[in-house]
Amino acid sequence: MPIKVGHDSAKTRKTLKAGDQSVAYYSIPAAQEAGLGDFSRLPAALKVVLENMLRFEDGKTVTTDDIRAFAEWAEKGGKNPREISYRPARVLMQDFTGVPAVVDLAAMRDGIVALGGDAQQINPLNPVDLVIDHSVMIDEFGNPRAFQMNVDREYERNIERYQFLKWGQKAFRNFRVVPPGTGICHQVNLEYLAQVVWSDEDQNGEMVAYPDTLVGTDSHTTMVNGAAVLGWGVGGIEAEAAMLGQPISMLIPEVIGFKLTGAMTEGTTATDLVLKVVQMLREKGVVGKFVEFYGDGLDNVPLADRATIGNMAPEYGATCGFFPIDQVTLRYLEQTGRDKDRIALVEAYARENGFWRDKGYEPVYTDTLELDIGTVVPAISGPKRPQDHIDLDKAGAAFHAYVKKQREGKNVTERAQARWEAEGGQPEPRDIPGDEGHHQRGYVRTEDGHYQLHDGSIVIASITSCTNTSNPYVMIGAGLVARKARELGLDRKPWVKTSLAPGSQVVSHYLEAAGLQDDLDAIGFNLVGYGCTTCIGNSGPLEPEISKCINDSDLIAVSVLSGNRNFEGRISPDVRANYLASPPLVVAYALVGDMNVDITTEPLGQDKDGKDVYLKDIWPSAHEIAELVEKTVTREAFQEKYADVFKGDEKWRSVETTESETYDWPASSTYVQNPPYFQGMDKNPGTIDDIEGARVLAILGDMVTTDHISPAGSFKETTPAGKYLTDRQVQPREFNSYGSRRGNHEVMMRGTFANIRIRNEMLDGVEGGYTLGPDGQQTSIYDAAMAYQENGTPLVIFAGEQYGAGSSRDWAAKGTALLGVKAVIAESFERIHRSNLVGMGVIPFEFTGGDTRRSLGLKGDETVSIKGLGQVRPLQETTATITYGDGSTKDITIKCRIDTAIEVEYIEHGGVLHYVLRDLAAKPQIAAE
């Protein structure tokens, strides 16, 4: 589709030659020569945004003052928080977040027809790619059948969703679907979709070059910043608005410069580097800011490693972690099969427009920090947060200390002891390194004998996620660890569920070409699917005997995964401690099966002759890894695997669907239902109502993530969502996951605040989605919310710091809104969730003046009133009146986190989609163009 630009400005629109190509482009040096300001020392990441202003300048949504503000940013030392309208070139989705987005678009078609408009007005104006990668679950593992059986099961579970997505692919323009079994969206984006610099026809038929930019409905969209493509995660709500041509309202961000020097030392990996970066940047505090990496150390950081660092920007809290274009970028484009003319254009454009990183590149930054990457040591992170960095040689001791704190001196439970004795006695307890009576024990009897599980037993070891499975250095490294272990006769421990879920089919190609897949298979790391799997909570069930032992004996079981998220309740309901590690370390931990062991000094096991085998005996050298990468990771492999990326296999091609402008919502579907957002909507916006007499639904602590608010994993039949499905004759085996049912608001409302590890401080020592209902009795949050809605009572949430950290999960905001929550009052918000709340018409507020939920002595029996909202301005402070249970009152000052003027309008309309729908209905002739 032709790109839209503001005008053919003679001042900034120039012509560029790259090889045989001649294209127009919007020149930053020309803007400087025209007197709009000095942009020469802007960071490359900010120049991308500046180019967007030049290209879309129209005197209305983008003005020359907006452009001058970037020069002022540099003059003011990297700060000038002016509101701007930014238009990304494209949108990336995955199926967990993409299905509800397509549901919303389908509902908007119904809505605009009801308002007297045309269904065809609802179409993406910007290109949208949706990659199905979140639905495969690890039911089968550790055998050659695992991949095919998991794929078959995936289609059985998700056929309704896939039929719906196929309908969307046919019904909407500018919308493509990458079928299941292709790869993880961020890896497909990095390896194929991203072009670094696009060229396309403008509305006048002239070719224009411009930077590749995007937003995605997954927080790890930031991965592609490793290839100098500016992108970040937004909620599905914001992405839908961007698809429909609505600019993203944002403040010119601060940019933190992260200087890298030196080179990685022998035995360390990109994972070790990124875990150190996460720790440093979390300590620095970069929420809502860009981070740009610079320094001569970048010469020693391959693009795959850069992508790993970019991927985990949500974990260090930044909007993005950007790497400028340089020779490393060009080499990657060549290796991954990009067109030669494209590569020539990228270099010419970057050099001409000031995006190129030369030696000595050091622009103005808001602030800086520095790391000699030669000081990085092997590490893991856990047991609950990505920033909980632990040097590998301290991991065993750290876990022991964690257990000691959890257990407070308890030993084997009487229940576990009695059960085992009733089944015929118990073996001699196995030693637990460093145990002083703090560890629980349990016993598992199998057909082959019995074994002991205890606090620290590793029951999941998974090579998974976009973060590392896009990186051939760590994947080849994992394969070599498996090869050396296999040669010595080592195998995974029998209680460890092992899995390998590559980020793309290219990974399988080079593992097979190197002969390493056979070695991985031999110790249980068989291919289980191409998708997010364990990292998103699709780890699948543990063996029943192991699950029973863990729960009966109240064990702190452990998972080790090569992912980016290890939040509580995310990986598996049976696992309480989760650790992030490099793929080679995941293999090593599967061999030892125990987090209490110091794998840097203690043996992993014994070889065929009974001799101890240590980590150093099976760890490959950097030279071994690099040699195999050079030999097996080829341009031809990328071209072959991505040749028919949108076609899919026979299973996908056989999925049948209807062809119609509006969707024929199947009444019996438990996966896809017409949401209530636009039903009964009129053409005129309302006003922002004061909040009066609101009751407290929950009081939550610090670092409550979107996983806590809207979990993605499995759920039981005793939950409100489980009861809803069983009432509709869905058997527990067919529940699938919350993530897969995001197209059904009835399931998702019941799953909001339903994480098994969430703690509502209104209740003492209770985990899970519970609160006090209108009658003062403990009940589920969903049931309490429905009871309050029946009474017409508005609700508020109180929370601590970094509320809404983690995934760009629109259902964390949608569910909050549908439960009747009108405001969330927290100490601070993470960027995406704050935006999502506003997008759903829920007002975020922050405490001021040192007030917190604790200092206010909140118990949950209070009522809250917030007045003056009808005239609210961005970032305005206002007064909240808290009436305590004893009748006393307290006024506190809170800051309204409606950050921009357009967001005020979104709230007035009831949400951003309502705003867009009314706007389209009012201008049918413009929308239809």
With H, G, I as helix, E, B as strand and everything else as coil, classify residue 296: helix
**Where does residue 232 rank: exposed (0-12), middle (13-18), buried (19+ CB within 10 A)?**
buried
CA 441 → CA 413, 479, 795, distances in Å? 8, 33, 44
Cis peptide before 127 (omega within 30 of 0): no
| Pairing relationship of beta strands 90-94 and 213-216 according to DSSP bridges | parallel
With H, G, I as helix, E, B as strand and everything else as coil, classify residue 306: helix
Q: Does domain 90-375 have CATH number 3.90.550.10?
A: no
CA 827 → CA 384, 712, 848, distances in Å? 21, 25, 8
Task: Using the structure block, give the residue that is written with the tokens 């790259």.
Answer: 18
Can you tell me the mean pLDDT for 755-784?
Answer: 95
Amino acid letter, residue 363: P
Q: DSSP string spanning 616-652? A: HHHPPPHHHHHHHHHHH--HHHHHHHTTTTTT--HHH
DSSP code of residue 821? E
Q: Are the C-beta atoms of residues 78 and 366 closer than 8 Å to each other? A: yes
**High-pLDDT (> 90) share of the chain, %:** 77
Give the pLDDT confidence score for residue 929 in this predicted structure. Answer: 38
| Pairing relationship of beta strands 197-201 and 207-211 according to DSSP bridges | antiparallel
Angle at CA of residue 178, ends 88 and 90, nearest 5°: 5
Q: Are the C-beta atoms of residues 496 and 458 closer than 8 Å to each other? A: yes
Which helix H or strand E contains 544, and what residues bound it? helix 544-552
Give the pLDDT confidence score for residue 414 in this predicted structure. Answer: 53
Q: DSSP string spanning 37-79? A: ---TTS-HHHHHHHHHHHHH--SSSS-HHHHHHHHHHHHTTS-
* Torsional class of 206: left (φ above 0), alpha (ψ -120 to 50), beta (otherwise): beta
Give the pLDDT confidence score for residue 412 in this predicted structure. Answer: 46
Stronger pLDDT, 928 or 111, i.e. the higher one? 111
Residue 283's CB is within 10 A of a number of other CB atoms, namely 12
Which helix H or strand E contains 92, and what residues bound it? strand 90-94
Give the pLDDT confidence score for residue 563 in this predicted structure. Answer: 84
Nearest to 290 by CA among 387, 366, 223: 366
**How far is the first Cα of the chain from the last one, in angstroms, to the nearest whole number?**
12
Which helix H or strand E contains 260, and what residues bound it? strand 255-261
Tens digit of each residue's pLDDT (9 = 90 or more) over 90-103 = 999 998 888 889 99
Residue 423: pLDDT band by 50, 70, 90 thresholds?
Answer: low
Q: Are the C-beta atoms of residues 845 and 897 closer than 8 Å to each other? A: yes
Tens digit of each residue's pLDDT (9 = 90 or more) over 218-277 = 889 999 999 999 999 988 888 888 898 889 988 999 999 999 999 999 999 999 999 999
Give the pLDDT confidence score for residue 570 in this predicted structure. Answer: 83
Lowest mean pLDDT among 6-15, 260-269, 270-279, 729-738: 6-15
Nearest to 313 by CA among 432, 230, 428, 193: 230
pTM: 0.86
Whole-angstrom Cα distance, residue 81 to residue 366?
A: 12
Q: DSSP string spanning 556-624? A: --EEEESSS---TTTS-TT--EEEE--HHHHHHHHHH-BTTS-TTTS-SEE-TTS-EE-HHHHPPPHHH
Max CA separation in the chain (angstroms): 88
Residues 6+ apart with CB under 8 A from 575: 459, 460, 557, 558, 559
Give the pLDDT confidence score for residue 418 in this predicted structure. Answer: 55
Give the pLDDT confidence score for residue 421 in this predicted structure. Answer: 57
* Torsional class of 806: left (φ above 0), alpha (ψ -120 to 50), beta (otherwise): left
Tens digit of each residue's pLDDT (9 = 90 or more) over 286-339 = 989 999 999 999 999 999 999 999 999 999 999 999 999 999 999 999 999 999
Q: Are the C-beta atoms of residues 290 and 225 closer than 8 Å to each other? A: no
| Pairing relationship of beta strands 863-866 and 843-847 according to DSSP bridges | unpaired
Whole-angstrom Cα distance, residue 6 to residue 208?
A: 13
Give the pLDDT confidence score for residue 845 in this predicted structure. Answer: 98
DSSP code of residue 501? -
Can you tell me the mean pLDDT for 721-738?
Answer: 93
Give the pLDDT confidence score for residue 444 in this predicted structure. Answer: 87
Q: Are the C-beta atoms of residues 827 and 803 closer than 8 Å to each other? A: yes
Amino acid letter, residue 78: G
pLDDT of 411 over the 70 cut: no
**Domains 90-375 and 381-637 equal at CATH topology level:** yes
Residue 732's CB is within 10 A of a number of other CB atoms, namely 13
Tens digit of each residue's pLDDT (9 = 90 or more) over 828-837 = 998 889 999 9
Stronger pLDDT, 492 or 683, i.e. the higher one? 492
pLDDT of 525 over the 90 cut: yes
Q: Are the C-beta atoms of residues 22 and 54 closer than 8 Å to each other? A: no
Which helix H or strand E contains 825, and what residues bound it? strand 821-826
Give the pLDDT confidence score for residue 1 in this predicted structure. Answer: 42
pLDDT of 111 over the 50 cut: yes
**Where does residue 571 rank: exposed (0-12), middle (13-18), buried (19+ CB within 10 A)?**
buried
With H, G, I as helix, E, B as strand and everything else as coil, classify residue 689: coil
Residue 924: pLDDT band by 50, 70, 90 thresholds?
Answer: low
Nearest to 434 by CA among 456, 462, 415, 416: 456
Give the pLDDT confidence score for residue 244 in this predicted structure. Answer: 87
CA 358 → CA 46, 292, 296, 298, 322, distances in Å? 17, 15, 9, 11, 16
| Pairing relationship of beta strands 558-561 and 458-463 according to DSSP bridges | parallel
Amino acid letter, residue 341: D
Q: 124-153 burial, b for 16+ CB within 10 Å, e for fewer?
A: bbbbbbbbbbbbbbbbbbbeeebbebbbeb
Q: Please give the mean pLDDT across all residues of the chain.
A: 91
Residue 429: pLDDT band by 50, 70, 90 thresholds?
Answer: low
Domain boundaries, the chain: 90-375, 381-637, 691-710+752-909
**High-pLDDT (> 70) share of the chain, %:** 95
Give the pLDDT confidence score for residue 739 in this predicted structure. Answer: 85
Whole-angstrom Cα distance, residue 633 to residue 599?
A: 30
Q: 691-710+752-909 has which CATH code?
A: 3.20.19.10
Tens digit of each residue's pLDDT (9 = 90 or more) over 842-879 = 999 999 999 999 999 999 999 999 999 999 999 999 99
Residues 6+ apart with CB under 8 A from 637: 506, 509, 510, 513
Give the pLDDT confidence score for residue 422 in this predicted structure. Answer: 55
Stronger pLDDT, 278 or 425, i.e. the higher one? 278
Residues forming a β-bridge with 350:
none
pLDDT of 428 over the 70 cut: no
Q: Are the C-beta atoms of residues 306 and 226 closer than 8 Å to each other? A: yes
Tens digit of each residue's pLDDT (9 = 90 or more) over 33-87 = 999 999 999 999 999 999 999 999 988 899 999 999 999 999 999 999 998 999 9
pLDDT of 928 over the 50 cut: no
Whole-angstrom Cα distance, residue 284 to residue 278?
A: 10
Class of 381-637 per CATH? alpha beta
**Which ranges of 285-426 would DSSP assign to H, the alpha helix?**
303-311, 313-316, 327-335, 340-353, 395-407, 414-422
Whole-angstrom Cα distance, residue 929 to residue 921?
A: 13
Tens digit of each residue's pLDDT (9 = 90 or more) over 152-207 = 999 998 999 999 999 999 999 999 999 999 999 999 999 999 999 999 998 888 99
Extended strands (E) in 632-777 = 691-699, 770-772
